[in-house]
Amino acid sequence: MDTVKRLWNKNFAILWQGQLISDFGNAAFSVALGFWVLNATASPGTPGGDVTLMGLVMACFALPEVVLGPFAGALADRADRKRIIIAADFLRGLLFAATGAALISGIFPFWMIFPLAILSGACAAFFSPALSSAIPDIVPKDSLSRANSARGFSTTLSSLLGNSLGGVLFAAAGAPLLILLNGMSFLYASVSQLFMKLPPVKRAGAKKRMIRDMADGMRYAFSTAGLRTLLISGMLINLFAMIGVTLLTPLFNGTPGYGAEKYGLMMGSMMAGAVAGMAALSAVKIRADRRSAVFGAAIMTMVCSTVPIGLILDVNWLYPLAFLAGTANAFVNVMVQTIIQSAVAARNRGKVFGILATVTGGLQPLSMALSGAIAGIAGIRPAITAAFSLLVVAALPLLIDKNFKAFIDSDADEAPAAGGPPAGPEAVPAPPLPDEAE
């Protein structure tokens, strides 16, 4: 009970509830986006809409986070994280609220979705490492895993409600209302976070150039063997998974008996599974020497539950598969985030999270952009099946690499700060970052 009291302090509670609201709006918007693009680009020749153009729009939302990730992470280690969090939410709120109002008024040309996507993605690029780096600053270290579970629980709960209601609201009211709702949710989060207090970032030694900070973070990440395995496998997993996930929208849009409502139900089932996973992680403590076994079981469950999706014709069978994938994905994400937060010093944490976002998501925009072309050649269902099947190959290094096992099994107190090797006999030492060297 003591841990819970220290976890739910004023600052963490403010951050948690603000993100709960904004995550809900963003989840509902995500459902509407793909279907809106497909409906807006439908023609007699392509009654289901332009799948390639839909992929390009989604790629524009993802690309800025990949390009700006290292810079944004370095900035999070030297700038006021509270200001970054508030500014990113406020700017996204203005963008989406203005877009929703313009769509309702009928004065929003289709091409404007591209600058909207790029600007929104840029805000997300700065927001993500600042948020991930701020959490360890406002909760005790022994409550860090629970803090991540609580944050993940709010995200998945918001996604559960947003996805489930998003499909229904899209069918009933259309995309403009959901986009306006998304803007209002971001504005609410930005205002509420004004009352949050974060400690200033402490910098040791002389000030360094931003580009050097970025290089230091990249050098550390790829010199730590277990972390390097995670980054490379994560990049490939996201590459193949995003092809399959992107093509789910045209699959549901063009298959009789499916539609936006059932797409929302499937995504909601996945989020319900994630909620169950977060609840389990909050209730059960995983021993350090069991982490790699639990992680391996979770990632194989996640992979194997997605492979049949493109082969199943009865939409009702997709819901339990999505639930299972969501549960396993929750275990994977929380375990990875917690060990990185514990292992990396506060002044370098943002850089590592920025690198993580860039490397693991580096090929996502490409996979989104190419998904339509791949589906045009192979067909939507075969493309989905092939993409999800390749996840098995991408995940294999995480199951057999001894360096990654040592990395994931290390205790928080034994795990390295930036500049130290991961615990374990198989670890490959990483050169120290300049501001941490003796």
- To the nearest 10 degrees (0 to 180), the angle between helices 225-254 and 259-283 is 150
Amino acid letter at 326? G
Is residue 117 included in any domain, yes or no? Answer: yes
Q: What's the rounded Cα separation, in Å, for the pair 374 and 362? A: 19
Contact 43, 55 (CB under 8 A): no
Is residue 201 included in any domain, yes or no? Answer: no
Q: How many domains does the chain have?
A: 1
Here the CATH number for the domain that contains residue 272 is 1.20.1250.20
Q: What's the rounded Cα separation, in Å, for the pair 116 and 134? A: 27
Q: What's the rounded Cα separation, in Å, for the pair 434 and 437? A: 5
What pLDDT score was predicted for residue 205?
45
Contact 230, 398 (CB under 8 A): yes
Is residue 200 included in any domain, yes or no? Answer: no
Q: What counts of helices (H) and strands (E) characterise the chain?
A: 17, 0
Burial of 290 (0-12, 13-18, 19+ CB in 10 A): exposed
Is residue 289 included in any domain, yes or no? Answer: yes
Is residue 203 included in any domain, yes or no? Answer: no
DSSP 162-178: HHHHHHHHHHHH-HHHH
| Cα–Cα nearest to 274, from 298, 292, 256, 253 | 298
Q: What's the rounded Cα separation, in Å, for the pair 165 and 172? A: 10
| Cα–Cα nearest to 331, from 269, 408, 267 | 408
Q: What's the rounded Cα separation, in Å, for the pair 81 and 137? A: 10
Q: What's the rounded Cα separation, in Å, for the pair 303 and 244? A: 12
| Cα–Cα nearest to 338, from 299, 288, 302 | 288
What are 354's two structure tokens?
């920025």
Mean pLDDT by 10 residues, the chain (438 residues): 60 89 90 88 79 89 83 82 94 96 92 94 91 83 75 80 84 88 95 88 55 72 77 87 91 90 89 85 75 88 92 93 92 79 64 73 80 88 95 92 79 42 34 34
What pLDDT score was predicted for residue 346?
64
Q: 3-class DSSP state for residue 4? A: helix
What are 121's two structure tokens?
């993605």
Contact 184, 25 (CB under 8 A): yes
* pTM flag (> 0.75): no
Is residue 336 included in any domain, yes or no? Answer: yes
What are 188's two structure tokens?
């609410």
| Cα–Cα nearest to 296, from 369, 224, 226, 397 | 397
Domain that holds residue 170: 2-194+209-436
